[in-house]
């Protein structure tokens, strides 16, 4: 039974995997500061960060001017916590440097809300995995 597709698999030195995350986080106080110019800058920056840190960004968008959605693939050695920390931290520092007016709209120099939402995204349902494991031959 084949429950994966080869085109989704990423080959690393010691493993083959398909690990994907959908992340969402918001601007502190839900301030609507993520305009088209900021989003274009973040689109470019997110690709640079991903390349530097070793993950792939498939989709990145700002929503309603006050939050971001990011869809990434990552190797198992890179935790979701680390990815979010890289993105939120570097984004915050770079945005404050480039768009000085943003700092005036937020207090205490914090760009992002402390929390975030994350879910794993896969091409295989839990039911298919269960069926696959249950139907493995027991050769002992």
As annotated, the active-site residues are 132
> Residue 85's closest CA among 22, 19, 25, 42?
25
Binning the chain into helix, strand and coil, the percentages to the nearest 5 are: 40, 25, 35
Q: CA–CA separation, 75 vs 96, rounded Å?
A: 30
Q: How many residues are listed for the chain in this entry?
A: 140
Contact 75, 83 (CB under 8 A): no
| Rounded Cα gap, residues 70 and 38, in angstroms | 15
């Amino acid at each position: 039974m084949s429950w994966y597709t080869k085109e989704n698999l990423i080959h690393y030195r010691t493993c083959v995997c398909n690990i994907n995350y959908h992340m969402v986080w918001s601007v502190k106080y839900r301030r609507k500061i993520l305009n088209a110019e900021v989003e274009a800058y973040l689109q470019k920056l997110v690709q640079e960060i991903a390349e530097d840190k070793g993950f792939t960004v498939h989709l990145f968008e700002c929503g309603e001017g006050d939050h971001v959605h990011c869809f990434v693939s990552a190797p198992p050695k890179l935790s979701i916590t680390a990815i979010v920390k890289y993105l939120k931290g570097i984004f915050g520092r770079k945005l404050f440097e480039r768009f000085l007016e943003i700092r005036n709209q937020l207090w205490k120099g914090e760009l992002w809300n402390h929390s975030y939402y994350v879910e794993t995204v896969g091409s295989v349902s839990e039911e298919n995995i269960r069926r696959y494991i249950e139907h493995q031959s027991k050769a002992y």
